[in-house]
Amino acid sequence: MALLGLILNAEHIPIIGRGIYTIAEAARLARVPAARINRWIGGYERDGVEYPPLWEPELRSSRHADLVFVSFADLMEARVIAAFYNHGVQIQTVRKAIEQAKDEFGIERPFATRKFQTDGKKIFIDIKNEIQRSNSLGSKDKIYLDIISSQLQFSSIVKPALKDVDFENNLATRWWPLGKNKTVVVDPSRSLGKPINSPTGVPIEALVGALDLTDKKPTESDFANVALLFDVSKRDVKEAFVFSEKFAA
């Protein structure tokens, strides 16, 4: 990560406040395979057809093409796209929704906005109507789009991905992966967006690493010892452990 900072700073790409994640880190946090995120931001070829990226990542090095990192905004976008993908919405339909949402909202990461929670349903319904008029896609695509027609089902896809996200000026600014009543936070303005204990700023990785989970589950004594070591509460350490289990590689 230090190498990334040196490279991006040398290229005058601002990194402070954006969050920086490797593809592997982003995949773990978004809970999707790393290969899938690579396809989404790098494009891919299938059956002789070239599919362009769904979006351009913020932190791509212009001098080192193989160095691609994900920002916090990219991560939030990936989480919503993953939610649609997991509910059976075809990725080309998601692609069209991203393009339409960009035009509608005028921003590069439309899925990582508060407006998408309310206006996204209309975008997908417009796409569905366009498909039905053109009749250019098969019946399976129409079936997948039908899940967007119901307000209840649309909410069940989007809200779980964005309900624990803080917004400012409609843009995602902070994510509480275990819920807003817990202390684990992913905040691009702190520690380059790495998961931390919110009250103290201690990296979650450090708390979990100190538990020494090589061959056993942590005991109450383990939690207490780590809490004492880092001057945090035992609850903080337990939540760090829960996070590590939920977002395991």
pLDDT at 64 over 50: no
For the chain, which residues make up each domain, given as ranges?
A: 2-175, 185-246
Please state the pTM of the whole predicted model: 0.85
pLDDT of the residue at 143: 56
Please give the average per-residue pLDDT across 234-240, as a whole number: 97
Q: What is the 3-state secondary structure (H, E, C) of 29-93?
A: HHCCCHHHHHHHHHCEEECCEEECCCCCCCEECCCCCCCEEECHHHHHHHHHHHHHHHCCCCHHH
The per-residue pLDDT for range 87-132, each reduced to its tens digit, is 888 888 899 999 999 998 888 889 989 999 888 988 888 887 776 6
Instruction: Let me know the angle formed at the C-alpha of 175 by 8 and 59, rounded to the nearest 5 degrees.
Output: 15
pLDDT at 208 over 70: yes
Say whether 113 sits in a helix, a strand or coil.
strand
Please give the average per-residue pLDDT across 35-49, as a whole number: 89
